[in-house]
């Protein structure tokens, strides 16, 4: 049975990764494991700019808007956690509507690469499908720094989606 880990962050690339993981699960009768990694220091505005921000609800959007106006613009850990729950729920709903076996993992914290690798190992993932935004200025890879590091260190098949 295929066990596919999909880290989601609310981006279009992560949504595409979840869709492709769903296709693989359908074909190979597997299960998708969804993970959101809470990364402290994230700007509130970047959360409001996500395609899934409309699903955050008025209270969370209001909190994030207020935090975006602060001098550092950093989202609080509480707001990040709430956004993560919404992002996970939306991804899980889309997969459930397709009739796919899906598990939502507890929200990870800290370094995204480490959290992804730990989650992959804990569920026995055969594959990691992750969105790759390539937002860093690294000339080493056309992938993002997180996906590149996961590819280098993961002990299973990795698929990048852009």
Read off the pLDDT of residues 80-89 as tens digits, 9 standing for 90 and up. 999 999 999 9
Binned at pLDDT 50, 70 and 90, residue 1 comes out as low
Asked if 73 contacts 67 with a C-beta cutoff of 8 angstroms, the reply is: yes
- What are the residue ranges spanned by the domains of the chain? 3-41+84-161
- Three-state secondary structure call for residue 39: coil
pLDDT digits (tens, 9 = 90+) for 13-71: 999 999 999 999 999 999 999 999 999 899 999 999 998 999 999 999 999 999 999 99
Residue 33 DSSP SS3: strand
CA distance 65 to 75: 9
Cα Rg of the chain, angstroms: 15
Indicate the pTM of the whole model: 0.91
Angle between the N-to-C axes of helices 12-28 and 77-97, in degrees from 0 to 180, rounded to the nearest 10: 40
Class of domain 3-41+84-161: alpha beta
What 8-state DSSP symbol labels residue 148?
A: H
Round the average pLDDT of the chain to a whole number and report it: 92
The pLDDT of residue 141 is above 60: no
Q: Closest by alpha carbon to 85, among 18, 160, 161, 10?
A: 10
Res. 137 pLDDT band, cuts 50 70 90: very low
């Amino acid at each position: 049975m295929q066990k596919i880990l999909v880290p989601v962050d609310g981006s279009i690339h992560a949504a595409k990764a979840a869709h492709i993981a769903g296709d693989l699960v359908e074909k190979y009768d597997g299960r998708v494991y969804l993970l959101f990694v809470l990364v402290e220091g994230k700007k509130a505005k970047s959360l409001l700019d996500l395609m899934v921000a409309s699903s955050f609800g008025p209270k969370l959007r209001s909190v994030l808007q207020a935090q975006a106006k602060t001098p550092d613009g950093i989202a609080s850990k509480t707001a990040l956690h709430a956004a993560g729950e919404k992002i996970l729920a939306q991804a899980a709903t889309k997969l459930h509507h397709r009739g796919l076996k899906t598990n939502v993992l507890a929200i990870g914290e800290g370094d995204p690469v480490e959290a992804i690798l730990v989650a992959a190992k804990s569920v026995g993932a055969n594959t990691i499908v992750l969105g790759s935004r390539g937002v860093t200025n690294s000339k080493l890879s056309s992938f993002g720094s997180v996906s590149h590091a996961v590819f280098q260190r993961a002990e299973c098949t990795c698929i990048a989606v852009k």
